[in-house]
Copies of this chain bind each other. A is one copy, B any other.
């Protein structure tokens, strides 16, 4: 993917451990990957802190994913049960540099 495109930066702190959270988070990654305009994701969690950055072709793709029914239900559960806090930022990727040690 070549800029410009969009990134959704989702930084989270969980309240605690919950196996249902793991399952839902994985399900959302799988669902997102099937949405129109999806370009990819980077997601890392360590203990209760996580950063998930998903990449999208345009703002319309982000809006459609945000409104997806099963995703909306996961958002609701996230606020009610799982997240102590989070920040969700929508950003326009202007440029990028990629490095691969095998190149």
Contact = CB atoms under 8 A, between A and B. Distances in A.
Interface of chain A, helix or strand or loop or mixed? strand
Interface residues of A, number: 35
Stoichiometry (number of copies): 2
Contacts of A86: 98-99
A18 interface: no
Interface of A: 3, 7, 9, 11, 15, 42-46, 49-51, 53, 79, 83-102
27 contacts: A7-B9, A7-B89, A9-B9, A9-B91, A15-B101, A42-B51, A44-B46, A44-B49, A44-B50, A44-B51, A51-B51, A51-B53, A79-B101, A83-B101, A84-B102, A85-B100, A86-B98, A87-B96, A88-B97, A88-B98, A89-B95, A90-B93, A90-B94, A90-B95, A91-B94, A92-B92, A92-B94
